[in-house]
Chains A and B, each alone.
Chain A
């Protein structure tokens, strides 16, 4: 079955450093998402992306965050200057349709640790 692939699985960085989390969505999907889960807390929506534009973003997704689809296969999340509170599991997801109720396919996540 097709799957969403995320790299790296673990990322350790120093506070203030930039990180890029990478995702390869399912090939025929057009809608892409990032979610994150701080340890012990809920999985939270960060951003959705379609047609090279952000469709929706949450309050968490401030100016320190950006997303990009640099080529036909990758979808990246960049955090410009990491903070301790950015430590979390970051999940990428994709779907082939838009709208409420659509099934999202998630990757295995990238565990980001900011020291």
Chain B
């Protein structure tokens, strides 16, 4: 069975601090994809990134970076120099062959960035 664990439920930081959101996954599939979605106060789920299981290169997009490590089944997300607008709930998700295109989500982690 596929499973995504986000151990942190809530984090509060002060603006400009760096923050890392942890994600650990379980799957028996050899081909799978990992995602991060952001849910701002307005409610929608906003796609941030997708990685496939064969690509362990870390990725940086502006203040966001992702560290994918198959050896530890982790796909962690770091926000550098956090801003108030980063305040949201962040979800890690997984899709794989066993589950076709459906996403299996973690419980989400609420990030609050204070001025």
Q: Which A residues fall within an 8 A CB radius of B?
A: 3-4, 9, 31, 33, 35, 41-45, 48, 55-56, 58, 89, 91, 93, 95, 98-109
Choose one: A41, A91, A99, A105; the contact of B101 (CB below 8 Å): A99
Q: Say yes or no: is B62 at the interface (Cβ < 8 Å to chain A).
A: no
A sample of 23 cross-chain residue pairs with beta-carbon separation below 8 angstroms, ordered by A number, consists of A3-B44, A43-B91, A44-B105, A45-B102, A45-B104, A48-B100, A48-B101, A56-B101, A93-B45, A99-B100, A100-B33, A100-B99, A101-B32, A101-B33, A101-B50, A101-B95, A102-B101, A105-B47, A106-B37, A106-B44, A106-B45, A108-B42, A109-B43
Q: Which B residues fall within an 8 A CB radius of A?
A: 4, 31-33, 37, 42-47, 50, 52, 91, 93, 95-97, 99-108
A4 CA / B43 CA spacing, docked (Å): 12
